[in-house]
Amino acid sequence: MEIAPLDGRRSSYDQSPNSYKPYDFAEFILNKILAKSEKYSGVSEASINLLIYITHWAFLPSESVFTLLQLWTVSKLHIFKNIVLYCPIDPSEGIASLIYPTPVRNRSNFNPEALRNNLVQNLSPTNWKLPREE
């Protein structure tokens, strides 16, 4: 399942902003996970693995998004045995991270509401430049 919050205002990757609120982005992803789970609701046992992935740098999930998803996928009912996030680095390599299941110790003392108004800024891998030394 691709993570790409495109809508009527931002219908292409090039028009996507390079910042987002992690709480809202995590809710968007969670809703897609739950919708995908509903699609497979007839499966009698949790034997389905869900791979979620990005195809554009603007949608790179922050650690806050990742932690929120770990917390919420444990507390929400879904069909998946495993949920894995894949973020490509280049066409032949990437990073895979387990969202579900995760140990309880990874979520202790975490307050999701503390992230509600945070803002994440992603840097374009093709347009950013190092500051010039004066």
CB 108 within 8 A of CB 10: no
Mean pLDDT, the chain, integer: 85
Q: Reduced to 3 states, what is the DSSP secondary structure of residue 83?
A: strand
**Which pLDDT tens digit goes with each residue over 22-79?**
999 999 999 999 999 999 887 766 689 999 999 888 899 999 999 999 999 998 999 9
Q: What is the largest CA-CA distance in the chain?
A: 65
Specify the pLDDT at position 28.
95
Q: Average of pLDDT values for 92-117?
A: 83
pLDDT exceeding 90 applies to what percent of the chain? Answer: 50
Residue 64 makes CB contacts below 8 A (sequence gap 6+) with 22, 23, 26, 115, 118, 120
Pairing relationship of beta strands 93-100 and 80-90 according to DSSP bridges: antiparallel
Per the model's pLDDT, the better-predicted residue between 133 and 5 turns out to be 5
pTM of the model: 0.82
